[in-house]
Structure 1
């Protein structure tokens, strides 16, 4: 376990114990607190580091159970459900002892963040659903296949396109950490708006990716499937829905649906991004997140989210 720092929000690496498991988290920046939950499940947190955001916010990057320096469940690679991740977020936010925080979840982390907002709204001043979706059933998988096909058609003639599509096809057979890392690296060119416009930059990210295989099955062996549509209609936590125009995983279709479902939301469309807007359009991303957090940190502005919902895209 990482030696504890006296201040739970001091710059650096921290650890706390939850349910007998060590959870590691990292604190960077200064300003209102924003807790960040990465995606996957199983992708190591480092890809989500956003230095531009840290200029105006205290960003708390969680290493979810089963990844990086946090402990694995005894049932690993099974049992990593949204309920489990939410219980660990509850413990982390209580540990920070600053009252309500903003919560940002990316990709699968967005699934977790919306679950947490539905079940623990008392802990949140706002939630950022960054490349999320209202459900993860068969239609979600079908949409991803369709968008991957669009990527292949758009990039036809590129020498690596077939290997990217092969990596997508291999995802259902993943059963260990090595295969998980290989798949994450293999599909990455489809996850940015234009990998080949700056291949050296994106290949560095590709090589740096680390991941843990997490099955997506609960402790009872059943898939952790969900459809949040009904519950999201009743969510009053202010929400910012963020999506890249070219995302193949949690694309515009899902972001628009989330925005339409949520009573108090804004929709931010990053026109020149895929799945990694914090890296593809870092200044726009950071400015919009910081503005959202600043508004939510001032209680006097919160009714405007409910009474004056912005119903159109806000492209950057």
Structure 2
């Protein structure tokens, strides 16, 4: 009798991605505005420092498919931002300056003087803010689908409503809908990824925490931190704008705006991906980072 063996999928599980790479997952106490924020951190690899920043309502597993590949070239640090994932949830608005101060304090705590920063969505906004206000801490930047550069009210409303709905009702249906929003290939959204989000969103105090994050979708709060040439032009770090062909939060017209504001920037588009190219197009994502951060060349 013959049997047919199904091939092993490219992606088995989030932690399966790290099965053959040495890594450390730990919590560190990070000083922030007179308090200590217990911050969840994953580190792997050796080489130049590279810090990965996730998006709104996210956590470090957003980069689970990339850490092993990036660790071949870099000492990689991925972390849960304050108010996110399994880091502490202090009751205060998580505005861009607060999220940026948390990152700089984390670098101090980890003994990292300078680093490459690669941020997705909200993480790209934070990375750019740090580069503008703490230029001595940043080598090169990757702004990965930073989203809604033009501050469109309809995008802010959709982001706020879909995220809050998933946190208030962390059922499979609502959380899956929120995660699928990030993907062009929605069939790539796994039960594991959805259930991780459900667990995060079910943490005590997380409704309050996500409300503190979503203040950035309020135009009155956002105006103090909105993408604008007054501060974006202060980013001296060489910057790669990493866009995609199907980003639901902003088109190439917004990338062109940033190209006009940033002193030293390039644009690279990953095809056939939505808001999470680091998950949907892993090989392209890794090659882009290798070319830009290791060789200092334009991936295009």
TM-score (norm 2): 0.75
Whether 1:97 aligns to 2:111 is: yes
CA shift in 2, pair 1:233/1:14, >3 Å: same
Partner in structure 1 of residue 78 of structure 2: 61
- SS of the counterpart of 1:217? helix
- SS of the counterpart of 1:80? coil
Q: Distance in 2 between matches of 1:98 and 1:170?
A: 34
- SS of the counterpart of 1:30? coil
- The 5-angstrom pairing of residues 42-121 of structure 1 reads 42-49=57-64, 50=66, 51-75=68-92, 79-121=93-135
Q: How many residues align structurally?
A: 259
**C-alpha deviations, 1:205-252, integer Å up to 9, x for none?**
33443444422228xx95334132332234211111111111101433
Whether 1:202 aligns to 2:189 is: yes
C-alpha deviation, 1:108, in angstroms: 1.0
CA-based RMSD: 3.1
- The 5-angstrom pairing of residues 154-169 of structure 1 reads none
- SS of the counterpart of 1:102? strand
Unaligned runs of 5+ in 2: 1-21
Match of 1:177 among 167, 170, 173: 167
Q: Which moved more, 1:84-93 or 1:244-253?
A: 244-253
CA shift in 2, pair 1:285/1:170, >3 Å: closer
C-alpha deviation, 1:104, in angstroms: 1.2
Q: Distance in 2 between matches of 1:187 and 1:12?
A: 26
Partner in structure 2 of residue 284 of structure 1: 284
Match of 1:13 among 14, 26, 29: 26
Q: Distance in 2 between matches of 1:120 and 1:289?
A: 22
Partner in structure 2 of residue 142 of structure 1: 154
Runs of 4+ that moved beyond 6 A: none
C-alpha deviation, 1:23, in angstroms: 1.9
Q: Distance in 1 between matches of 2:160 and 2:148?
A: 25
CA shift in 2, pair 1:173/1:277, >3 Å: closer
**C-alpha deviations, 1:234-275, integer Å up to 9, x for none?**
421111111111110143332232223212112110011111
Unaligned runs of 5+ in 1: 1-8, 146-167, 297-304
Report if the CA contact (8 A) 1:38-1:106 is conserved.
yes
Report if the CA contact (8 A) 1:135-1:229 is conserved.
no
C-alpha deviation, 1:144, in angstroms: 7.7
C-alpha deviation, 1:99, in angstroms: 2.6
